[in-house]
Chain A
């Protein structure tokens, strides 16, 4: 049996990376921090709950469905709400309120879905853990393995896509300078739609894995949102690969630091995991507001030298 601490660190880091990759992607393209990102995570998690509690199969089989469902929701959020607002020339705060709208809407939808499952199928649908439907490969939990696989595959595919394919290069151009890119003939709207679609999908996948570490509740997404923000800010919102170091640091420290303090004889600290990302976020904003990927290491090393 693998130490549960290690698998916890892997899963939390993984879901933080997956969900903050999406958040950073949408921030880079539409320049708005998406408060409804929590809804995508919660939607993915509740598709997992449906699989485990109603159908009685492992939520891992429902990863593709979670991806598609959350991706479509995110796409619709962009198409129906944000795009028309941006066309009207809405300012940043209005766009943030727009994402807030989706967040409030999904508080209702997720709770109705949970209640509907509970009344129709007479099943428990709140405070669910996916541990019972976990598989083990050589004593190693499958969910942790899958998270590692997903992070590696997705980040390498994203890297290849952004640097080698035509659409990816167009996407980078659209991120750098939208008006110039559209002059060259790049369809900005399609690129933005794609980034929202991908962002929602990744958050949906993260939602499924969320249940293997935490307890899924209707407010799970809201609970996890500070982690996502912290990882994105720590990694640097200006760089699409920022969430990878950011997520690893946030995931590891939010599990390991309370555990280590608890080992010293203060087990109450385990309840205050949420403070770790908050503190890290505060320190990042004070020291390096542009995040890890925004620090110019070369400059720091060469400082003082001719």
Chain B
């Protein structure tokens, strides 16, 4: 019985981490895997999302309810007013949900802005210069957050108001179940992002991205505006990475600027993407689950073997990560699950679909589906076959 309890505890701890890292890794996969931009500055957008969670909900409550009258100011005295903020948020479900949605939206917009900022060098520089610039740019927000009191409390950090607290305060749901609701929320977000990215890269847009990655000049001659695609993809990826950083912050319920660092938020996602399989979302998901589980196992169970080693067991993580990365580079350069060629239909399948379309035209119209739209989506081949079959 106890074993099952421990397992449940472990999995409930694990899922938010997997959700956050899955979103960050997918955003990196979009940039590096599908478009070939070596973004070594993921930290910028991730810390951006985390910082939004750190200051926005608390600050809104602070000014809305005029908490300055208590006598503490928002910033490095944050720890003294967080209880008041939590009490106010907990008493009103509507306010909590509104703030949660607002925080997510602002984080996504801010992430998109940061992606736009990083796309500026990405449009102009070669891969090596670009990698150096983005890596250096990545630390910017952390330096600001660490040295100023205002956004996230400097070196002391800030607490993230418990936006899920209203379940306990207003509906009297036990804390354990509120925790499950929170985890389910993160999981739903991650799954939504997974399907969004999957849809994105399996659409004609995804094929354009791969075309730009593989042969820039060719894509240009086909009339594709490379600048536009790069900028937009980096904005989307920035928004997603910020969402990942937001989940990290909401999960740990605190934001300390220095906790966002290059190793955790840039290098580890890179390891997950490269080992899992660049340009393959399922592979990336497997890489994320593998490495995050490893991270959490070492973090939670390190006390078991801590007495036998003269150092903090957490530092085994980077060593294991780097060994896995090196092995992947040598023996499986495509990752655990390699990139698959674009999914196209066989000739028989296409003929069948077209016949079905012919037979069920009225039915399709009845459901409000436009045949022309469907046809346009059946990759290339269909146009050739259309003439063959005279339809």
A interface list, Cβ under 8 A from B: 27, 31-33, 35, 81, 84-85, 88, 90, 92-94, 96-98, 100-105, 107-109, 111-112, 115-116, 119-120, 219, 222, 225-226, 229-230, 233, 237, 268, 271-272, 274-275, 277-278, 281-282, 285, 289
Alpha-carbon separation in the docked complex, A222 to B136 (Å): 10
Which residue from chain B places its CB closest to the CB of A219 in the assembled complex? Answer: B261
Task: Name A112's contact: one of B263, B311, B323 (CB within 8 Å).
Answer: B311
Contact A225 B135 (CB under 8 A): yes
Inter-chain contacts of A116 with B (CB < 8 A): 310-311
Residues B267 and A278 in contact, CB atoms below 8 Å apart: no
Tell me whether B385 is interfacial, beta carbon within 8 Å.
no
Q: Is B147 an interface residue (CB 8 A)?
A: yes
Cα–Cα distance between A302 and B263 once the two chains are bound (Å): 49
Provide the residues of chain A in CB contact with B127, threshold 8 Å: 92-93, 96
Q: Which 3 A-B pairs have the closest CB atoms?
A: A115-B311, A108-B318, A105-B322
Q: Write out the residue numbers on chain A whose beta carbons fall within 8 Å of the beta carbon of B315.
A: 107-108, 111-112, 115
Give 4 new A-B contacts, CB below 8 A, not counting A35-B131, A97-B274, A100-B267. Answer: A33-B132, A104-B322, A111-B312, A111-B318
Selected from B129, B137, B263, B312, the residue in CB contact (under 8 A) with A278 is B137
* A94 to B326 CA separation, bound complex (whole angstroms): 11
Contact bitstring B145-161, A, C-beta under 8 A = 1, else 0: 00110000000000000
Cross-interface CB contact of B270 among A32, A85, A97, cutoff 8 Å = A97
Q: Let me know if B263 and A104 touch, CB within 8 A.
A: yes
The smallest C-beta distance from A113 to any residue of chain B, in angstroms, reads 8
Is residue B297 contacting chain A, with contact meaning CB distance below 8 A? no
> Are A107 and B128 touching (Cβ within 8 A)?
no
Which one of A111, A233, A274 lies within 8 Å of B139 (CB-CB)?
A274
Q: In whole Å, how far is A292's beta carbon from the nearest beta carbon of chain B?
A: 15
Residues of A contacting B40 in the complex (Cβ-Cβ under 8 angstroms): 35, 96, 100
Distance of B220 from chain A, by nearest CB (Å)? 20
Contact between chains at A97 and B325 (CB < 8 Å): yes
With beta carbons under 8 angstroms apart, the residue of A32, A107, A281 that contacts B136 is: A281
- B319 close to A93 (CB less than 8 A): no
Consensus secondary structure, chain B interface: helix
Contact B136 A278 (CB under 8 A): yes
Whether A93 pairs with B325 at a CB distance below 8 angstroms is no
Closest residue of chain A to B258, judged by CB? A219
Contact A285–B133 (Cβ < 8 Å): yes
B1-57 residues with Cβ-Cβ distance < 8 A to A are 32, 36, 38, 40
Question: Across the two chains, which residue of chain B brings its CB closest to A232?
Answer: B132
Q: Are A92 and B261 in contact (CB under 8 A)?
A: no
Q: Are A84 and B330 in contact (CB under 8 A)?
A: yes
Among B140, B144, B263, B310, contact of A119 (Cβ-Cβ < 8 Å):
B310
Q: A101-B322, A107-B263, A115-B315 are in contact. Are A229 and B310 (CB under 8 A)?
A: no
Q: Complex formed: what's the CA distance from A287 to B319 in Å?
A: 40
Query: Which residues of A sit under 8 angstroms from B113, Cβ to Cβ?
Result: none
- CB of B333 within 8 A of chain A? yes
Residues of B within 8 A of A33 (CB): 128, 131-132
Docked pose: A237 CA to B130 CA in angstroms: 13
List residues of chain B with CB within 8 A of the CB of A120. Answer: 310
| In the bound complex, CA of A107 to CA of B263 (Å) | 8
- Of the candidates B121, B147, B267, which one forms a contact with A271 in the assembled complex, judged by CB atoms under 8 Å apart? B147
Q: A272-B147, A281-B133 are in contact. Are A226 and B261 (CB under 8 A)?
A: no
Known A-B contacts A120-B310, A226-B139; the reply to A108 vs B317 at CB < 8 A is: yes
Partner of A229 from B135, B147, B271, B321 at Cβ < 8 Å: B135
A108 to B274, CA, bound (A): 20
Most A CB within 10 A of own CB, among B132, B135, B137: B132
How far apart sit A230 and B274, CA to CA, in the bound complex (Å)? 27
**A285 contacts B325, C-beta separation under 8 Å:** no
Point out the residues of chain A lying under 8 angstroms from B326, CB to CB. 81, 98, 101
B148 adjacent to A107 (CB under 8 Å): no
Cα–Cα distance between A119 and B333 once the two chains are bound (Å): 39
Question: A229, B311: Cβ atoms under 8 Å?
Answer: no
Q: Which residue of A lies closest to B140 (CB)?
A: A278
Residue with the highest number of chain B CB atoms closer than 10 Å, among A104, A108, A109 = A104
List residues of B (290-336) whose CB comes within 8 Å of A's CBs: 310-312, 315-319, 321-323, 325-326, 329-330, 333
Residue of A nearest to B321 (CB): A104
Q: Is B78 an interface residue (CB 8 A)?
A: no
> What are the residues of chain A within 8 A of B230 when measuring CB–CB?
none
Contacts of A94 in B (CB 8 A): 329, 333
- Which listed residue, B133, B144, B312, B318, touches A107 by the CB 8 Å rule? B318
Judge whether B129 and A289 touch: CB under 8 Å. Answer: yes
Of the A-B pairs whose beta carbons lie under 8 Å apart in the complex, a sample of 8, sorted by A's number, is A85-B330, A93-B36, A107-B318, A108-B318, A111-B312, A281-B136, A285-B125, A285-B129
Across the interface, do A222 and B270 meet the contact criterion of CB distance under 8 Å? no
Given A100-B267, A116-B310, also A277-B329 (CB < 8 A): no
Q: Which residues does chain B contribute within 8 Å of A115, judged by CB atoms?
A: 310-312, 315
A98-B329 contact, Cβ under 8 Å, with A108-B316, A278-B136: yes
Residues of B within 8 A of A93 (CB): 32, 36, 38, 127, 131
| Chain A residues with CB under 8 A of B316 | 108
B231 contacts across to A, CB distance below 8 A:
none
Q: How far is the CA of A32 from the CA of B129 in the complex (A)?
A: 10
Q: Which of chain A's residues have a CB closer than 8 A to the CB of B60?
A: none
Closest beta carbon of chain A to B30's beta carbon, Å = 15
The smallest C-beta distance from A54 to any residue of chain B, in angstroms, reads 14
In the complex the two chains form, is B329's CB within 8 Å of A101's CB? yes
Knowing A85-B329, A120-B310, the reply to whether A35 touches B135 (Cβ < 8 A) is: yes
Cα separation A268 to B315 with both chains bound (whole Å): 33
Q: Smallest CB–CB gap between B254 and chain A, Å?
A: 20
Q: Chain B residues near A225 (CB, 8 Å)?
A: 135-136
How far, in Å, is A199 (CB) from chain B's closest CB? 16
Chain B residues within 8 Å of A289, by CB: 125, 129
Q: How far is A268 from B148 in the complex, measured between Cα atoms in Å?
A: 8
Residues of chain B contacted by A230 (CB below 8 angstroms): 136
Taking the closest CB of chain A, its distance from the CB of B266, in whole angstroms, is 9
**Interface assignment of B143: CB less than 8 Å from any CB of chain A:** yes
Q: CA A33 – CA B150 in complex, angstroms?
A: 36
Q: A259: shortest Cβ distance to chain B, in Å?
A: 16
